[in-house]
Structure formats: structure tokens, C-alpha cells
Amino acid sequence: MSTEESLLPGDQPQPNTGTQCSTLPTEDVYNRFGHGEKKVILAIVSLTGLVPMFVSGCFVPLIPQISKDLNSSPATVSLGVSLAVLANSLGIMFWSAYSSFYGRRTIYLCGMPFTILGSFGVAASTNISSLLFWRFVQTFGCSGGHALGAATIGDIYRLEERGSAMGTFFGATLFGLAIAPPVGGALSQYWSWRGFQAAVGVWSILQMLLLAFFFPETAYPGSRGIDRAQGSRKLFVWINPFRCLVFLRSPNIMTITLMNTFALISDYGFPRVSLTCFKGAKYGIESEGLVGALFLPNGFGNFVGSSLAGRISDKMVRRAKEKRNGIWVPEDRLRAVWIGGLVLVPISVTLSGFTTAYVDGTVGLIINLVCFFTNGIGVDMVLTPIGAYTIDIMPSRGAEVMAAITAFRSLLLAPVSALFIPSVETIGVAATNSISGIFAVLGYSLIWLTIRYGAQMRAYVDVGYPEFDTQALDDYTLDDIEY
């Protein structure tokens, strides 16, 4: 019978130095920490996940002020955004690969000094070259927060609790992404950009102290490469950071990556780019602070949606196991995606596009704000079940799978975000947003295929999955599981 506790007591997972078969942890793994300890750990990783959101989200509103202070053009300073995308992609693969070998705590503590030095370096920059260099260091250091946080949750929460915990984590981090623009907008008007960067450095110091004194190692006992390494390999071992990309060969992981990307296209292009460049001007909002404040409904939607999605996905897992007399199928969790992926995201993004094109005044603004809130809920109802599913299918390699998804997603989001404004100028905001909604529906069709054919897809390209009991499902069909 396939349960998450199918690894026999005494069995030891193999060290994570390659793409060998993953293993399912025993029940004892989740009893290492009490309920209160798990809450503290979850709070710490959620706070750590906020750092990269503020580092990336607050930079764009500061570009005019930075370019004026450094006697450079906004276009040149904006290279820091592209450089940050590169640093984030490289960093998340690097830190996740080493977290599988040395553990979560060690890698958290290794990354924070880069963020601290990078933040103070950016604050002290006197020319564009030093700014871009320290910007890269800063983003590289904090880039592992997303993948490491998700992996940590998989380390300490059992299957039926994992979705809710993941919802809390995603809700906190994405809410940070939503409030970062208004914070950056306010800072650009009322404070110095150097002061803000120095404040990020101080925040990172406090975060590092919190990790050092209150964050234990959470990786499964015996699962780290260092647990079996000998001699000099205990001090340092070279691990190819790009090895995580091999996971994208799996149809299961590629489908959830595409759905993840299509959902975030609506979140990045809508409302972020369109709000800053089009909607603010259309509705007579010129203040940078007020434009930034319009992001808040989207952030509140993220917070609400993540909590709902986590609980719904856990409920679906429990109900499906009961229907099958205890047999667990990982793809059951993905059933929670349909509300956000098929309904909320495509409808909200399309409605906002037509509202912006054809509805003026206060009524149009209110409808857009409702759409922002709804989109925030929908996006998190996609990301949260997908994040938990990633840990479900690769429990000891979750950080690396999350890194592969994030890196590939960044590769796709960068050109799509760049095309959003030209698309609006060419075919209009209604058509552009409708295309975004169509992509969301297309992404859900991939999720539907994964739900129905997940076992066959895992067998088609096995990238080290645990041995799930697929033969036990012969007496059950998808139609037997009602939701």
C-alpha cells in the first residue's frame, strides 16, 4: 500500500549527491518537532522568504531616484532588475543543491552574509558598476529563501498537514511581493534609497541571528550527503548547481511548472505592469505612493487564497485516501488547483482587461480592484497545491525541484513581462489580458492530464521518484473519487 510512511523503520535514505531514487520518510520523521516548534520554524522560514520579495519588489520604484543620484539613465539602472533575475535563477539552484548535501540550516546561514554585504554595498555604491555588482551579490544571497522554505515545510509536516503549512508560507511571501511596490513607492517619495538598502542589511542581520539561535536542522536524518561523506568531503564537495534541471525531464514536473508560470503571468503582467503603466493614468492616479497602494488588494487576495488552498488540498488528500481505503495517490492534491486555475485567474484577468478598456471613472477602478483581489486568491490557489505536490513526489529533493521550477519559470517570465507593454500598445489591454486568461486555462488542462495520468507520466520518465503503489489502484478509477 502506498502511504507516505512506506519506508520501513531502520531504512536509511541515500545521500543526495545525484538523482538517485528518493525515499518516503517514516512517521517518526514528523515527530521530531512538537506542534509549537513547527509553528516557530514555519514563522522563521516565512520571514526569511519575505526578504527576496522586498529586495526585488522595492527596487523598481527606486530607479528614478537612484539614476538621479548616480548621474545615470533609468534604463541603465534598470539593468539591476535583469541582473537580479539572473542572480535569483543561479542562486536558487546553487543553494538548493547544497541544501540537499549540507542541510537547510547550514545553507540558510551561508546565504544570509551575501545578502547583508550586498545590501550595505548597494547602499554605499557611488557608481553604476558597483551598484550592479552589489545588487547581484544581494539577490544571490537571499534567492534560496523560496525553495529552502518549501523544502523545510516538507521536512517537518506530514502529508495531511503539508498543504496548510505551505499555504501559510506562500501567503506570507506573496503578500510581501504585493506590499513591496507601495513600500518602494513611499520610499521613493519620503526617504532615501540608500537608507532603505541599509535597512534591508539590518533586517538581514536580525534574520541571520534568528536563524542561528532558533532554527534547527530539519532535513531527514540520514538523508543529507554529508551524513555519509568522509574526510575532506565533509568540509566541501562540488555539486553542479544545474543538476536540478534534470527534473524538468519529467512530464509531471514540467506540467506543474507551466501551470505555475501561466498563473504568474497574470500576476506579473496583471496587475503589476498594467497598473503602473496604464490603469493609474487612466483613472487619474499619478502619485507613486497611491499607485503602489493599489497593489494591496492583490496581496490580501494572495494571503486569503493561500490559506484556503492549503486547507482544501489537505482535505482532498484525506478524502481520497479514505475512499481508497488508505491508498495515497500524490496527484489527488492537484485537484485543488481547478478553482483558481480554471475559474478565478482567467475570469479576473479577462474582466479587468475589458473593464480597463471600456469602463471609466470610479466604477471601473472598483471593478479592477475586485479583480486584483480575486486574481490574488486564484494565483495562490494554483501555487500552493503545486508547491505541496512538489514535496509530496520528491520528499528529500524538494528544494532542488522547486529550484528547477523557479529557474525555468524565470526564464519564461522575463520575455513575457517585457512583451506585455508592447502587446497592450498594439492590440489593446482587453485582448492582451484575454490571452493571459487563455494561457491560464491551457495550464489547467495540463494539470488535468497530470491528475488523470500522473502515475503513467512518472513511470515514463523517472527522475528518482519514490516507489508509489500503482498496482493497488487497479480496483479504483478517478471516477470513484468524488469531490
Residue 6 lies in a domain: no
d(CA 386, CA 409): 14
**Which domain covers residue 55, as residue numbers?**
27-225+243-463
Q: Is the pLDDT of residue 331 over 70?
A: yes
Residue 346 lies in a domain: yes
pLDDT tens per residue, range 89-127: 899 999 998 998 888 999 999 999 999 999 999 999 999
Query: Is residue 94 classed as helix, strand or coil in its secondary structure?
Result: helix
Identify the CA nearest to 107 among candidates 223, 218, 227.
218
Residue 478 lies in a domain: no
Residue 321 lies in a domain: yes
pLDDT tens per residue, range 14-55: 334 344 445 566 667 788 899 999 999 999 999 998 888 888
Provide the pLDDT for residue 283: 65
pLDDT tens per residue, range 239-290: 888 988 999 999 999 999 999 888 888 776 555 555 555 555 566 666 656 6
Instruction: With beta carbons less than 8 A apart as the criterion, state whether 431 and 353 touch.
Output: yes
Provide the pLDDT for residue 71: 87
Q: Say how many C-beta atoms besides its own lie within 10 A of residue 10's C-beta.
A: 6
Instruction: With beta carbons less than 8 A apart as the criterion, state whether 62 and 188 touch.
Output: yes
Q: Which residue has the higher pLDDT, 294 or 319?
A: 319
d(CA 290, CA 473): 55
pLDDT tens per residue, range 139-189: 999 998 888 999 999 899 988 889 999 988 988 887 777 777 777 767 766
pLDDT tier, 418 (very low <50, low <70, confident <90, very high otherwise): low
As a whole number, the mean pLDDT across the chain is 81
Residue 3 lies in a domain: no
Q: What is the CATH number for 147?
A: 1.20.1250.20
Q: Is the pLDDT of residue 474 over 60?
A: no
Instruction: With beta carbons less than 8 A apart as the criterion, state whether 442 and 342 touch.
Output: no
pLDDT tens per residue, range 194-224: 888 898 999 999 999 999 999 999 988 777 7
- What are the two backbone dihedrals, phi and then psi, of residue 161, each rounded to the nearest 5 degrees? -110, -10
User: 233: which 3 cell numbers?
Assistant: 568531503
Instruction: With beta carbons less than 8 A apart as the criterion, state whether 463 and 16 touch.
Output: no
Q: Give the count of domains, the chain.
A: 1
Residue 235 lies in a domain: no
Provide the pLDDT for residue 2: 43
Residue 293 lies in a domain: yes
pLDDT tens per residue, range 305-319: 888 888 999 999 999
The residues near 456 (Cβ < 8 Å, ≥ 6 apart) are none
pLDDT over 90, % of the chain? 31
Q: Is the pLDDT of residue 479 over 90?
A: no
Instruction: With beta carbons less than 8 A apart as the criterion, state whether 393 and 245 touch.
Output: no
Q: Is the pLDDT of residue 233 over 90?
A: no
Residue 443 lies in a domain: yes
d(CA 435, CA 351): 12
Provide the pLDDT for residue 23: 59
Q: Identity (one letter) of the amino acid at 188?
A: S
